[in-house]
Chains A and B, each alone.
Chain A
Amino acid sequence: MNNEYGGIVATGIARSFGTVAAIRHIDFAAPPGEVTALIGPNGSGKTTLLLILASLLAPDTGTLTVGGVDPLRDAAAVRRTVGWMPDTLGVWESLTATEILTTMGSLYGMPSDRRRERAAELLAAVRLEEFADKPARVLSRGQQQRLSLARALIHDPAVLLLDEPASGLDPGSRVELRATLRSLADQGKTVVVSSHVLSELDEIADRAVFINRGESVKNQTLDEAGTQIRRYYIQADPMEPLAEALTSHGVTFEVRGDSRRAEYQVMMSSTDQAAWLLRTLILADVAITAFAPAGGALEETYMSLDTDRQ
């Protein structure tokens, strides 16, 4: 995570609003060329941290560099390299989608032919060409979300900060968002995504920073997350032979109560152990109808952390 390559390095960040400590102590790092997920419950300080990284808020304490530059020293240099997609949908409603993007380009000092070209290109990329000349107020929430992503990309930033980019998107757009973020990271850009849709992040994030109550509680790569203890759900028809087989092999299980159908939950320390159990159950003639990890790797970490979700 060397500064020379850009990326984000933040250590010991704290920020309070009056008496409310939004961020107590966060260490955060996002290397270029990777998608870093910022995960935490509501009110844990995700948005505040992104505002600090975007050079809009000053931290009370701590040091940070974004793209190798300290925002407190040279905010303009940081802004040239940062694209920020806020969690609120602030749009200039009377402007058309094209005008919003070209206006944004002009605020970054892009020459007029370049920003028009770029606007058309981005509108095509987020599939909003048919709304190019329609006022932004007619866009649906998901479409505005996509326009907001295009707006963040207008000046081709090296660092991309996305606050809940997937909220309000339909499944098709989520898949596209995933592909877009992946390809941006593959170009060497630093991509930071905050979200609580963990299954989405599982597939695109290279690493994750978990924060809770304004503190960074865990920092892991997805490869690490894959090797940890995970929960598996098993269904069989009928369920009785499954219970017997599990008991006879000394596997402890519990009945999952929050599902529509009867399910058993077991803890597996590795994928090898899961494979062994499945093979054993089938050989014991248990009619397995479902055998799957309970959630994504990130969700597993999230649930295992002592987080509070009030």
Chain B
Amino acid sequence: MSTSTTEQPGSTGASTDLTLSYWNGVKAVFGLEMRQRLRARAWYIMLVIWFFVIGLVFLLASVTTAATEGSGAILFDLVVGFVLFFGLLVAPGLSANAVNGDRAAGTLAILQITLLTPGQILWGKWLASWVASLAFLLVSSPFIFWALALGGVNPAEAFTSLLMLSVELGIVSAIGIGISALANRPLFSIVTTYMVVALLGIGTLITFGLSYALVDEENVEVTYSYLDYPPGTDFSAPIPASVELECVTRTQLQTVHHTDRTTWLLAANPFVIVADSVPYSRGGDFGQVSQPANPDVYVQPGIMEGISVGVRLLQAGPDYETTCEEAQGFGRDLPDESFPIWPLGLVLQSALAGGLLWLGRGKLATPARRLAQGTRIA
């Protein structure tokens, strides 16, 4: 045991020249984390399960939509929605024990005793858990490409969808890492991260729903028009073009829901962010697809496009002022002034994730002044 050390007499101060650049520190932590993740069997098992579940959903969906016009777009939308849904389930599990799990295993102090700063530890761990969750996106890629191969999805739409999926996984990973630095027990931090993700996914919907009553405005005079079909019209058959329909316009007092004032509550919802950011270019009206060849064919929107259009409609607010022209069309034209709310959502989510990481960073600072009750640093 004594041999190696005696070979370097007078090497007492040899280590004082060591420096660790910020990026090298992040890289080293990332490498360490990735090595451990790649060697853990559980991760591969999860990937296999994921592959089969997505595959099953995809196959079932492709069978049911096979006869539908534009099934490629619907399938693509479905895969994106599903990958996002599952990603929100998986990402907290991959990130929310990264720091306190190390603390429990006694390996966090090993990192802290080196030249690493808390920031480098958090960056490295975040990047590693993000990459680990992106692997799930990668495993879903056969189905994504399959859906793309069926046609009907433009490249910008596909690219934006996948990019935003990745961003969402990254944000959820960051939330998980931040909470795992703050909480003492891995179980607690994983559950808390799931709660936060549920708050974003479902809590925003509930809040929006509950706020509905707050934006009611009673006794608003609205003017609306409708087509007056002659009595005894048979709606089961196409109405002959020869029938001249009269457009009736009326005015009445009614309660109006000003959803335009509360739609921002939905902004932080991951599904809304992804759906809202994608530039769907398949038609102007809800459900109407402008296919140059046959413009009148009705094509159903996919899940994500449906969310997108729904949010834009809510954002535009109530429109009870139907004109005769609108009454004849498929639906209502989205007003041009509707603006995307996904940037707001991204800002809100990033602020949440960033805040948690910033608080977590304080917990990792050494020499530590405050320790949580019952924890030993080593």
Binding site for B on A (CB under 8 A): 6, 17-18, 32, 47, 51-52, 54-58, 71-72, 75-77, 79-82, 84, 86-92, 94-95, 99, 103-104, 106-110, 121-122, 124-127, 135, 151, 153, 155-158, 176-177, 179-180, 182-184, 186-189
Contact = CB atoms under 8 A, between A and B. Distances in A.
Interface residues of B, number: 51
Contacts of B1: 125-127, 176-177, 179-180
Interface in B5-19: 5-16, 18-19
Nearest to A163: B378
A57 B113 contact: no
A57 B40 contact: no
Contacts, number: 155
B18 A80 contact: yes
B368 interface: yes
B13 A158 contact: yes
Contacts of B109: 56, 86, 90
B250 interface: no
Contacts of B8: 156, 187
B16 A58 contact: no
Contacts of B40: 94
Interface of B: 1-16, 18-21, 24-25, 28-29, 31-32, 35-36, 39-40, 105-116, 366-369, 371, 373, 376-378
Given A107-B28, A122-B4, A127-B1, A17 B371 contact: yes
Contacts of A55: 113, 366-367
Given A47-B378, A180-B2, A183-B6, A108 B114 contact: yes
Contact of A56 (B7, B107, B113): B113
B310 to A, nearest CB: 46
Contacts of A158: 12-13, 15-16
A75 B28 contact: no
A90 B110 contact: yes
Nearest to B375: A17
Contacts of A82: 113
Contacts of A110: 18
Contacts of B25: 107, 109
B10 A92 contact: no
Nearest to A78: B367
Nearest to A161: B113
A260 to B, nearest CB: 34
Given A182-B2, A186-B6, A187-B12, 18 more contacts: A17-B373, A18-B373, A47-B378, A52-B367, A56-B377, A58-B367, A80-B16, A84-B113, A90-B107, A95-B35, A103-B32, A106-B24, A106-B31, A107-B29, A109-B18, A109-B25, A156-B15, A158-B12
A92 to B, nearest CB: 6
